[in-house]
Each structure stands twice: as C-alpha cells, then as structure tokens.
Amino acid sequence: MRKLQRIAILLFVMLVSVGCDQATKSVAQNTLAGTEPIIFLNGMVRLQYAENPGAFLSLGAGLSSEARYWIFVVLAALILGGLILYMFRVSLKMHIMSLVGLALFAGGGLGNLIDRITNDGRVIDFMNVGIGPLRTGIFNVADMALMAGIGLLAVFELRKGTGDQGLGTEDRRC
C-alpha cells in the first residue's frame, strides 16, 4: 500500500473518531445536561451528563486548574502532536492494523483535547454501562476510540509475538 493511501487511512480514522466524538458530546450537552439519567436495557446502559476535569475515572480532578492545564492540555497536546508526526513518518514501515490502532488512539485523544480547550479544561462524558453495582465510570466516544486503539495494538502485538498474524497477506513489518 502506498504512503498516500496510508496517510488517507490515518486521516480518515482520526477525523471520523473526532467527528463522532464531538457530535455525540454536542447531543449529550443539549439533551442530557440538567436531566435525570436515561436508562436502557434494565439499567445496563445509562446516559448521564457529566463534565470531568480530570483524566480516566477523574484522576487528577483535585489538582489545581493550572496543573490540570499543563498536564491535560499542554502535555497531552505535545504527546499527541509527537504521535501524529510519528505515524506520518513511519506509515510505510508499520502494519496497517498498527496504524489504525494508533489513529484511533490519536483521534480519541484529539476529541478529548478539543473538549479541554473549548470547555474550560473539562471533558464531556455521558455513557455508563454495567450490571447492578458493577459499573464503569462515565465515558464518551473519544474514550471508546482510545480503548479500541489500545486493544487493536495489543491484539496485533500479541499475534505478532506468536507468529500467527492472521491478517492476510499485507506487509507485516512493524
């Protein structure tokens, strides 16, 4: 696959991730803010508006606003910028599954970074799943893209490690 095609795939995956994330957050903000949670599937899925000033499970929410800005905006932007540059520079050397995993991760990171920049350092979350008292934290589409990217990278690396890539006849270099 040529470099231009790989870059197009990277951009497509990142733009779709960011677009879906921002669209769903807009809907959540306009329809869920200030309302009671909406419950589906006998409580397994809850749609509930929340603004998270911290990271995963509100880690860092207790830090000063200046510390949160430097960690969650400046540092995150630098890391994402480096990751995106890395993806474009090595796109021909990586397996397409690794590239898609990294693009999902970057797209999710960008979606949450946009929130932090436009929402006074907070990320809009609105989904919660679980059974009874066993529940996830409240999350969003960007978080799902981040986790899907990590999962894809992990599965690919595990398969690569066993020698069973099962991914067709594409270039298997990493």
Q: Which tens digit of pLDDT belongs to each residue from 58-102?
A: 888 889 999 999 999 999 999 999 999 999 888 888 888 999 999
Q: Distance (Å, rounded) from C-alpha 66 to C-alpha 62?
A: 11
DSSP code at position 139: B
Provide mean pLDDT across the span 119-124: 94
pLDDT tens-place string over residues 8-61: 999 999 999 999 999 999 999 999 999 999 999 999 999 999 999 998 878 888
Residue in the block written with tokens 């919660």: 128
Confidence of residue 163 (pLDDT cuts 50, 70, 90): low
Cα atoms found within 13 Å of the Cα of residue 32, Cβ hemisphere only: 19
Confidence of residue 164 (pLDDT cuts 50, 70, 90): low
Is 166 a residue whose pLDDT tops 50? no
* pLDDT value of position 112: 97
Torsion over CA: 16, 174, 89, 146 (sign)? positive
* pLDDT value of position 158: 87
* pLDDT value of position 173: 46
Provide mean pLDDT across the span 120-146: 95
> In this structure, what token pair is assigned to residue 71?
């960690």
Is the pTM higher than 0.95? The answer reads no
* pLDDT value of position 157: 84
Where do the domains of the chain lie?
3-29+37-162
Q: Which residues pair with 124 in a beta bridge?
A: 51
* pLDDT value of position 132: 86
Q: Which residues belong to the active site?
A: 125, 143
* pLDDT value of position 167: 44
* pLDDT value of position 2: 86
